[in-house]
Amino acid sequence: MPAAEKRNVESLEALATQISAKASSMVRERAGWNAEAKLTLIHAGSSCAAKWLSKLEVDPEFSDELCLAGAIITIAAGQNSLRNDLKQMLKEQREAEAKRQPILPTTTA
């Protein structure tokens, strides 16, 4: 899990550096995975995977699976929200820069 989280955070940081210091600050505050969801992935992930690998039938106890699904959804939603916010900031920054570009008159010969 730490390696996957690290790769994800690094990709968000790379995007944020293209935008602004404010975007980088937002990534530092929000990019880390939700601690409870991460712990759930670590604790329930192995037993859940073992269940699914050992049999193809549906097991009557879904607690680990539900916890795992909830953790994954929580992490994905948070990261997706942050990524969308960064993309919006980048779009707004590019639009502002385009408006500041002086339009040079064209000369005809």
Determine the pLDDT at residue 25: 92
Mean pLDDT of 9-29: 90
Q: Note whether residue 106 is domain-resident.
A: no
Q: Note whether residue 109 is domain-resident.
A: no
Total domains in the chain come to 1
Reported as a single tens digit per residue, the pLDDT across 83-109 is 899 999 999 989 988 888 766 666 665
- Cα(36)–Cα(104) distance, integer angstroms: 55
Domain interval for residue 28: 2-100
Reported as a single tens digit per residue, the pLDDT across 27-84 is 999 998 888 888 888 888 777 776 766 765 555 566 677 668 878 888 888 889 888 9
Q: Note whether residue 43 is domain-resident.
A: yes
CA angle 4-6-7, nearest 5°? 65
Q: Note whether residue 108 is domain-resident.
A: no
Determine the pLDDT at residue 45: 76
